[in-house]
Chains A and B, each alone.
Chain A
Amino acid sequence: MTYKAAKVVIITEKVILEQVAEVIEAHGATGYTVFAAGGKGSRGVRPTGRAAVVDGFSNVQIEVITATHITAEEIAVDVAERFFQNYSGITYLEDVEILRSHKF
Chain B
Amino acid sequence: MLFQRNRWNCLMELLLDFLSRFLVQFQTPALAFLVGGMLLAAFRSKLEIPDAIYQFCVFMLLMRIGLEGGLEIRDANLADMLLPAIIAVVVGIGIVLLGSMVLACLPGVKTEDGIATAGLFGAVSASTLAAAMVMLEEQDLVFEAWVPALYPFMDIPALIVAIVLANLYLARKKEGVKAKTRIWPIISSSLRGSALSALLLGLALGLLTRPEIVYEGFYDPLFRGLLSILMLTMGMEAYTRLNELRKVAHWYAVYAAVAPLLHGLIAFGLGYVAHILTGFSPGGVILLAVMAGSSSDISGPPTLRAAIPTANPSAYIGSSTSVGTPIAIAVGIPLYVALAQAVFGV
Query: Contact residues of A with B, CB < 8 Å?
Result: 13, 15-16, 44, 49-58, 86-87
Given A15-B302, A55-B302: A49 and B233 interface contact (C-beta under 8 Å): no
Chain B, Cβ-Cβ closest to A13: B305
B183 touches A (CB below 8 Å): no
Chain A, Cβ-Cβ closest to B244: A44
Alpha-carbon distance A58/B317, docked complex (angstroms): 13
Main secondary structure of the interface of A (DSSP, over half): loop
- Interface size classification for chain B: 20 to 34
B193 touches A (CB below 8 Å): yes
What are 24 A-B contacts with C-beta separation under 8 Å?
Answer: A15-B302, A16-B306, A44-B244, A50-B49, A50-B50, A51-B49, A51-B54, A51-B55, A53-B233, A53-B234, A53-B237, A54-B298, A54-B302, A54-B317, A54-B321, A55-B55, A55-B193, A55-B299, A56-B305, A57-B301, A57-B305, A57-B317, A58-B51, A86-B309
Chain B, Cβ-Cβ closest to A49: B50
B194 touches A (CB below 8 Å): yes
Task: Indicate if the CB atoms of A15 and B48 lie closer than 8 Å.
Answer: no
For B55, the chain A residues whose CB sits under 8 A away are 51, 55
Chain A, Cβ-Cβ closest to B229: A51
Task: Indicate if the CB atoms of B49 and A57 lie closer than 8 Å.
Answer: no
B9 touches A (CB below 8 Å): no
For B244, the chain A residues whose CB sits under 8 A away are 44
Task: Indicate if the CB atoms of A50 and B48 lie closer than 8 Å.
Answer: yes
Task: Indicate if the CB atoms of B302 and A51 lie closer than 8 Å.
Answer: no
Q: Assuming A15-B305, A16-B306, A86-B310, what are 10 further A-B pairs, CB within 8 angstroms?
A: A44-B314, A49-B51, A50-B48, A51-B54, A52-B54, A53-B234, A54-B297, A54-B301, A55-B193, A57-B305
Minimal beta-carbon separation of A66 from chain B (angstroms) = 27
For B301, the chain A residues whose CB sits under 8 A away are 54-57
Chain B, Cβ-Cβ closest to A87: B309
For A56, the chain B residues whose CB sits under 8 A away are 301-302, 305
Minimal beta-carbon separation of B205 from chain A (angstroms) = 23
The listed residue (A51, A57, A58) touching B313 by CB distance below 8 A is A57
The listed residue (A44, A50, A55) touching B298 by CB distance below 8 A is A55
Query: Contact residues of B with A, CB < 8 Å?
Result: 48-51, 53-55, 193-194, 233-234, 237, 243-244, 297-299, 301-302, 305-306, 309-310, 313-314, 317, 321
Alpha-carbon distance A55/B127, docked complex (angstroms): 14
For B54, the chain A residues whose CB sits under 8 A away are 51-53
For A53, the chain B residues whose CB sits under 8 A away are 54, 233-234, 237, 297-298, 321
Minimal beta-carbon separation of B44 from chain A (angstroms) = 13
For A52, the chain B residues whose CB sits under 8 A away are 51, 54
Task: Indicate if the CB atoms of A15 and B233 lie closer than 8 Å.
Answer: no
Task: Indicate if the CB atoms of A49 and B298 lie closer than 8 Å.
Answer: no
What 6 A-B pairs have minimum CB-CB distances, sorted nearest first? A56-B302, A51-B54, A86-B309, A53-B237, A54-B301, A51-B51
For A58, the chain B residues whose CB sits under 8 A away are 51
Task: Indicate if the CB atoms of A57 and B302 lie closer than 8 Å.
Answer: yes
Minimal beta-carbon separation of A45 from chain B (angstroms) = 9
Task: Indicate if the CB atoms of B237 and A55 lie closer than 8 Å.
Answer: no
Alpha-carbon distance A58/B54, docked complex (angstroms): 14
Chain A, Cβ-Cβ closest to B298: A55
Chain A, Cβ-Cβ closest to B296: A54
Alpha-carbon distance A87/B271, docked complex (angstroms): 40
Given A57-B305, A57-B313, A57-B317: A51 and B50 interface contact (C-beta under 8 Å): yes
